[in-house]
Amino acid sequence: MTAIVSEAAPTAAAPATRRVAVLLAAVALLGLVLLASLALGARDVAPGDVLAALLHHVPGNTDHDVVLDQRVPRTLVGLVAGAALGLAGTIMQGITRNPLADPGLLGVNAGASLFVVLAIALVGVSSPHAYIWFALAGAALAAALVYGVGAIGREGATPVKLALAGTAVTAGATSIISLVLISDSDTLNSWRRWSVGSLAGRDADMLGSLAPFLMVGAVLALATGRTLNLLAMGDDVARGLGQNIHLARVVAATAIVLLAGSATALAGPIVFVGLVVPHVVRPFTGPDYRWILPFSAVLGPVLLIAADVVGRLVVRPGELEAGIVVAVVGAPALIVIVRRVKLAGL
């Protein structure tokens, strides 16, 4: 018996050891992307000058001012928003058992966009600082509506009903947005800059305002790993193993609203990050959501910040918004994912 245990223990520990090693490599990659975000742009700054700006800022030094005033805030927004979208997309795919789920599936992006449009058109809001509260409220209301509609019936909020309800809410919100924008050109001009999805023009105050929501959402998300593993086996199996299905979905939905709503409020309705990242992660983690979630929290900002850096470089001295670059990368990735899902018979 002792021999069997001693031989089996290294075998069981090996996958965890490999996952930790890959996770550390992902963290190192994130560090490189963060450095690139601080150093590269319309004006390149040497890595040594970046470090000097962070540690020994010299007022009036142009390179130091560019790093601290412009690039540090947008890099922090990319870090936080990318992690939030990665976590939110992973949870969505877990609770809906839909490999094509992303923060748009449950109407989060549509609800946030609708409330921002209404705030601009009816209240005259024009500041990104004010957008965040309307976007967060719209995301929360849309998710609550989707869950309420999806929970109607004896079966409760099944994955299929949630997906259908999310699609319906998204379609309805999009129709209202289009109606408002067609009838008000000033609202269109204000909204379209936010709707593209960008890390530019955001500051530390916006991030600080949403930090409590993001922290609570991240804690809830990371705590759902075991629950998502049970839900992946089906509602009946999860219920038989003692899981409260209704409570699990409420907790997961709360995490999604806090994370995706806050990320959308910060950076606009950026698509594909929450969809693509969990699929990139799974070859390294397997189906265990206790590993998929932390990997997604690391690789989400890698994708978003890298897209932001590429957007600054390809059309210098101008720049492309990060949301556009992510969409260019995400569209082919979506085709690959759909083909993989079809081949797998899902």
Q: How far apart are CA 121 and CA 96, in angstroms?
A: 34
Burial of 344 from C-beta contacts in 10 A (0-12 / 13-18 / 19+):
exposed
Q: What is the pLDDT of residue 4?
A: 39
pLDDT tens figures, 188-238: 777 777 777 788 877 778 888 888 999 999 999 999 999 999 988 887 888
Mean pLDDT across the chain:
84
Rg of the Cα trace of the chain? 21
Q: How far apart are CA 33 and CA 305, in angstroms?
A: 7
Q: What is the pLDDT along the chain (346 residues), one digit of tens a residue?
A: 344 333 334 444 557 888 999 999 999 999 999 999 999 988 888 888 899 989 888 888 888 888 988 899 999 999 999 999 999 999 988 888 878 777 776 788 889 889 988 888 888 777 767 778 888 889 889 888 887 887 787 776 677 777 788 888 889 998 998 888 888 777 777 777 777 778 887 777 888 888 899 999 999 999 999 999 998 888 788 888 888 888 888 899 889 989 988 898 888 888 889 888 999 899 899 889 999 999 999 999 999 999 999 999 988 887 888 888 888 887 787 777 767 665 544 4
Contact present, 287 and 232 (Cβ < 8 Å): yes
Helix, strand, coil proportions of the chain in percent (round to 5)? 80, 0, 20
153 DSSP assignment: S
- One-letter amino acid for residue 208 of the chain: G
Contact present, 126 and 141 (Cβ < 8 Å): no
User: Could you tell me which CATH number the domain at 80-343 has?
Assistant: 1.10.3470.10
- The residues spanned by each domain of the chain are 80-343
Peptide bond into 59 cis (omega under 30): no
